A = this chain, B = another copy of it.
Amino acid sequence: MKHVIRVGALCAAAGLATTLAGTAAAGEWDCKSKFGPEDQIGNANYLTAEKTLAASKLITKGKSYRLGIEVNSKTPAYPPRYVTVTVVQPGQQAGKTIGPHKLTYNDDMINGWMGVGPQIDGFGHIGIDNVYYNCFKQADIGNITGLGKLGIETVPPIATRGIVLDMAGLMGVDMVKEGTAFNVAEIEAAMKRQGIAKIEKGDVVLFYTGWLQLLGKDDKRYSSVEPGLGREGAKYLAEKGVAAVGADTWAVEVIPFEKDAAPFEVHEILLPRSGVYILENMNTEELVKDKAWEFFFTLGPSRFTGAVQAIINPIAIK
């Protein structure tokens, strides 16, 4: 269990990590997008009308699934994130009501962080040495009141083919163990087992690991480690042109990180390097139970101007 400890320490230490001098990482990186110098949406460019139309044919039963888990003040979150909702009744103190019909109403306040629970990571989330997707520089865009570029409001409507890869089923377990990396071999084995012929441009790929079973039962384990995508697997999916990658875990990527991996290197591969959105804490359990391996996936993240992330609830339809 020393890996867990090591990673726990790593996460805790993230804020304190000093810059190592002279690595080649930033220098080697070609930050330019293949979609042109103005592009802010990466592989979501593959979300063409043709793609959406073709994906809509996957709807054969009409059954809908909501992929967003509930989120509240008890949802484990990456420190120091938290979120609270407060329900209030403006103007109704002491039992007052409004007008002849005695109207009453509740309103709600939200305070805390966007990055809690089921969320999409926009391209403003992760950078390499303060350079983000398509060479946008943090110095230029990282305004405290909202990103000047790559904000979550730029995410286009996502209506495309979704695929769930049942990694627990593949491995014959109820819940995949933390530290288990999903790379090309695992991805292709899962596809083969499920009869999925190929992954195509604009697809959304979701991994099912069973990890959400820990939520509310062992939040500490849930939020410190996890099975997930490895670096090779991330590159493989990015090269296939997927628009987004998600999982039923808080980080999508394997933790403890792979040997010699940089912290959150899979995030780095997907977001700034490849223009692939990340979807975290996605509940695909019912899809897996129904063996609904391929489906129509729709997502419209709330459009806070300049926000980095959004709390989401995609709808899958079979």
Please give the residue numbers on chain A whose beta carbons come within 8 Å of chain B beta carbons, in ascending order: 14-20, 23, 25-26, 47-54, 56, 59-73, 79-115, 118, 124-130, 137-139, 142-147, 153, 156-159, 262-265, 268, 296, 298-315, 317
Residue on B nearest A93 in the bound complex, by CB: B142
- The 20 listed contacts between A and B (C-beta, < 8 Å) are A15-B91, A47-B64, A52-B62, A80-B86, A85-B305, A86-B86, A86-B144, A87-B124, A87-B142, A87-B143, A102-B128, A103-B127, A106-B124, A107-B115, A108-B309, A110-B111, A110-B114, A300-B313, A301-B313, A302-B311
Assess the A107–B114 pair: CB atoms within 8 A: yes
Contact A302-B312, Cβ < 8 Å, known A59-B56, A66-B156, A110-B112: yes
Assess the A114–B108 pair: CB atoms within 8 A: yes
How many Å lie between the Cα of A104 and that of B144 in the bound state?
Answer: 15
How many Å lie between the Cα of A156 and that of B124 in the bound state?
Answer: 30
Known: A84-B145, A103-B262. 13 other contacts (CB 8 A): A19-B102, A26-B101, A71-B303, A72-B304, A87-B124, A87-B143, A87-B147, A101-B262, A101-B268, A106-B125, A106-B308, A299-B315, A302-B313
Interface centre among A69, A105, A112 (most CB of B within 10 A): A105
Assess the B93–A89 pair: CB atoms within 8 A: yes
Assess the B91–A14 pair: CB atoms within 8 A: yes
How many Å lie between the Cα of A146 and that of B93 in the bound state?
Answer: 12
Assess the A91–B268 pair: CB atoms within 8 A: no
Assess the A104–B100 pair: CB atoms within 8 A: no
How many Å lie between the Cα of A48 and that of B73 in the bound state?
Answer: 32
Contact A303-B115, Cβ < 8 Å, known A91-B17, A100-B262, A145-B85: no
How many Å lie between the Cα of A306 and that of B83 in the bound state?
Answer: 13
9 A-B pairs with least C-beta separation: A95-B95, A15-B91, A53-B62, A93-B142, A300-B313, A49-B62, A52-B62, A64-B157, A102-B129
Contact A111-B112, Cβ < 8 Å, known A91-B17, A96-B17: yes
Contact A159-B64, Cβ < 8 Å, known A56-B59, A114-B85: yes
Assess the A99–B304 pair: CB atoms within 8 A: no
Residue on B nearest A300 in the bound complex, by CB: B313
Residue from B110, B129, B143, B315 within 8 A of A157 (CB atoms): B315
By a CB distance below 8 angstroms, the chain B residues around A81 are 107
By a CB distance below 8 angstroms, the chain B residues around A63 are 49, 52
Assess the B101–A109 pair: CB atoms within 8 A: no
How many Å lie between the Cα of A120 and that of B79 in the bound state?
Answer: 28
Residue on B nearest A25 in the bound complex, by CB: B101
- Give A141 Cβ to nearest chain B Cβ, in Å: 8
Assess the A114–B109 pair: CB atoms within 8 A: yes
How many Å lie between the Cα of A264 and that of B101 in the bound state?
Answer: 10
- Give A185 Cβ to nearest chain B Cβ, in Å: 25
